Structure 1
Amino acid sequence: MKKILSIASILALGVMLQASAVSAHVDIVGIESGTLFQFPAGMEPTLDGDLSEWDIVPEDYYVPFESHFEYYLGLGHENDESNLSFRVVAGWSQGTNRLYFMMERFDNYWDRNGVGAVAGGDDSWEIMIDSDHGGDQHWYAAGDFESEEEHQRNQGRYAQNAHCRFPPLEPFGWKWWFQSKSTWHDVPPWGDYGFQLDGESNAGEVTARIEIMSAAWDDFHWVGPTESEPEHTFVEGNTIGLGWVVHDMDNDAEDNSGSTGGWGINPNIQMWFDCGNCSDFLLAPTDPRVDFSQMVTGTAVEEESWGRIKAAYIQQ
């Protein structure tokens, strides 16, 4: 049965459409506008690598593999899905004031041994978060400041960037914040993950299932959470900046002759340096197509596409 939109849903759609008009930093190929799916309070995904809870998210929130741009090998959008393929979706919750990320990834070789140079030498998911949408720089060279103390204070201060690598290995765990001395950002309540791997690390084809939860800060301090207060407060209808690069380390026996590939959400690889090169994502209201009461028992997504719902609203 088709869902009849309530006036509350229509008003929520109006907020979304108005917020979508914010000028983007860098567009995502094939995506009209980046959108963060809202999980109602108490219905956030369990971080265990079981992605079935994400089945409620309509397909039009996903950023597919073909939207990503490969930098290092010069492939651009000409990608070989027998080597690598993935899909990504991001969400948020007012209840927890956290961002949530999910990736389902096929890879013909899962590299996780801590050996190498680029991205720490392993397959990783590098995520940049610009919560106040300021387009701030988040990495600085040592010579950019007069003292190492000042240098370290400003690393990731106004926007954050880290490599997420699984399974976790010491000394950097699962979330390697390569430019910061922080040791607390990757543990609850500020960060957590779920991970399942069909296959074996460093041994051939795999399917990886990844879930990530993260806080964000408008003035981060590596020393500790007290010094970093307050955390950024996510507000429905606001726009934040997000970027990510999916790194693929193939060995000599695999594709790319041992070369490193990097697939970014947009063509601007400088997002690893500053979030002026990230993409815009709207903190969406709860989607009126989704019946959250069916999160466990069955499908929760109506047949109507998001585009058709928006078109219906515009015609009002």
Structure 2
Amino acid sequence: MSDSSTRLALAVLLGCGCAHSTQAASRPDQQFEVFQFPKDQIPRIDGSFADWNLVPERYAIGLDQLMDTERGRGIDLDPADFDLSVKVAWVEGLNRLYFYYDASDDDWDFARSGLKNDIFEVVVDGNLSGGSFINTVHPHKDAFKKSDLHFMGHGEHAQNYHVFTPSLRKEWAMVWGNAPWIKDFPHANAAQSYSFQHGEGGRYQLEFYITAFDHADLRGPAYSTESDFRENGLIGLSWCILEYDDEGNTFEAFMNLAHDTEMVRDASSLCLFKLMPIEPELQPAIQANWSVTNIGTDRRSFKFEDRSHGEIQSWHWDFGDGNSSNEPSPIHHYTRPGQWVVRLSVRGPAGEDSLEKIWDVVTP
């Protein structure tokens, strides 16, 4: 079966529109939060981790939220054996998730090649499409040869990152899917810090970011679609820790946030995470901001939208052509050619501010 016919068969079998339907989530009574970094304080992936001091501790997700769903220990996990704190963040305008993973283990296992390594496994479903995404549980796997399954939507609508903790003489992660390019820069980046040897205990720190994709195509980013992250939006996300405390081939623990082993292969079993606004103390009390969209077929009609921060009580738009408006988000039609300087001035209880944009608006 050719690549094109394989993709066509998959589209027919899965109905083409499932990526826009919201599926059930694990732990529906629990909604976690994703911290928003201001644009001028985006964390550097450099292994120093100081940027994460900006994130309040209420965003940290610890061992008490995990459950061992494979070894029968449930939620009764011993922090003296393994402990962790995970913070997740985003930046408005970037469809990325930033992670800070801070863990302590009494026995780190990472000397072997291949998959057998202490693992932090992260799964993200940026548009809550849900459904299976690993080839071994493909809903129509019996209709295709096993050798074709890898190319059958494997990891396209949700992504699973098999993160090695620590990574030694191997890449920082392995992707469960047919689009391994998503773990490469600029779509992802990682930096780690540790001082222990294989088999020793100690503290491990890791920071990384990944890009979420509604469709991650095996042909590369030009054929793929990033998830569209918006403030107060919900995404599907979960992680698990596979702990190998000996030289065997079986992990000692499978601790996961979703409380469901299926999270590693079915996006319907992920948790809900909310993309939070910037914390009030990290923002000015009032700040003017706006955007503009050309809506006229004659290229002279524009929709101006207020995007200011703070409690705004009045607006004044100067369109640069002698006309103005006091509406929050007006529509304005220019009657002649020009390169226009447009200014929005806002007022509120905290004071006033203005923002001018030069030649964002040009009319023929």
TM-score computed with the length of structure 2 as normaliser = 0.65
Deviation per CA, 1:35-58: give whole Å up to 9, x if none: 100112232111122222111111
Task: Choose 1 or 2 for highest CA Rg.
Answer: 2
Structure 1 gaps, min length 5 = 1-21, 293-316
Q: For residue 282 of structure 1, what is the amino acid of its counterpart?
A: K
Q: What SS class does the counterpart of residue 60 from structure 1 fall into?
A: helix
Partner of 1:38: 36
Matched, 1:80 2:75: no
Q: Distance in 1 between matches of 2:41 and 2:274?
A: 20
Q: Distance in 2 between matches of 1:225 and 1:26?
A: 30
Comparing both structures, which one devotes a greater share of its residues to helix?
1
Residue 260 in 1 paired to residue 258 in 2?
no
The amino acid of 1:217's aligned partner reads F
Which of 226, 249, 274 pairs up with 2:222?
Answer: 226
Match of 1:188 among 178, 185, 188: 185
Identify the residue that residue 203 of structure 1 maps to in structure 2.
199
2:242 equivalent in structure 1: 247
Q: CA deviation at 1:101?
A: 0.9
2:127 aligned residue (105, 124, 132): 132
The one-letter code sitting in structure 2 at the alignment partner of 1:139 is: I
Give the match for residue 61 of structure 1: 59
Question: Residue 286 of structure 1 is aligned with which of 275, 278, 286?
Answer: 278
Distance 1:144 1:280 in 2: 31
SS at match of 1:176: strand
Structure 1 position 198, deviation (Å): 3.0
> CA, structure 1 residues 23+169, in 2 after alignment: closer, same or farther (shift >3 Å)?
same
CA contact 1:24–1:279 (8 Å) conserved in 2? no
CA deviation digits over 1:140-186, x for unaligned, max 9? 2273452544641400111111201144456x6111113x2434211
2:302 aligns with: none
User: Is the contact between residue 42 and residue 95 of structure 1 (CA under 8 Å) also seen in structure 2?
Assistant: no
CA 163–252 in structure 1, closer or farther in 2 if over 3 Å, else same = closer
- In the TM superposition, what is the alpha-carbon distance from 1:70 to its structure 2 partner? 1.1
Where does residue 155 of structure 1 map in the other structure? 154
C-alpha deviation, 1:247, in angstroms: 1.3
Cα gap change, 1:252/1:218 in structure 2, threshold over 3 Å: closer, same or farther? Answer: closer
Larger RCO, structure (CA 8 Å, separation 6 or more):
1
- What residue number does 1:98 align with? 96
Structure 2: which amino acid aligns with 1:159? A
Identity %: 25
Change (3 A) 1:23 1:225: closer
Q: Aligned partners of 2:131 and 2:281: how far apart in 1?
A: 35
Quote the offset at 1:263 in angstroms: 0.9
Distance in 1 of aligned mates of 2:51 and 2:60:
14
Contact 1:86 1:104 in 2 (8 A): yes
Runs of 4+ in structure 1 over 3 Å off: 142-145, 147-151, 166-170, 289-292
Secondary structure at the residue paired with 1:185? helix
Aligned residues: 259
CA distances 1:54-79 after superposition (whole Å, capped 9, x unpaired)? 11111111111111101222111111
Identify the match of residue 266 of structure 2 among 236, 251, 274. Answer: 274
CA contact (8 A) 1:24 1:280 kept: no
Contact 1:271 1:277 in 2 (8 A): yes
Distance 1:212 1:199 in 2: 20
> Which segment drifts farther, 70-79 or 279-288?
70-79
- Tell me what 1:309 maps to: none
Judged with a 3 Å threshold, the aligned counterparts in structure 2 of structure 1 residues 80 and 241 are, in CA distance, closer, same or farther, namely same
Letter in 1 for 2:27: D
| Structure number with higher strand proportion | 2
Are residues 1:215 and 2:211 paired?
A: yes
Q: Secondary structure at the match of 1:121?
A: coil
Cα 1:193–1:99, aligned 2, differ >3 Å: closer, same or farther? same
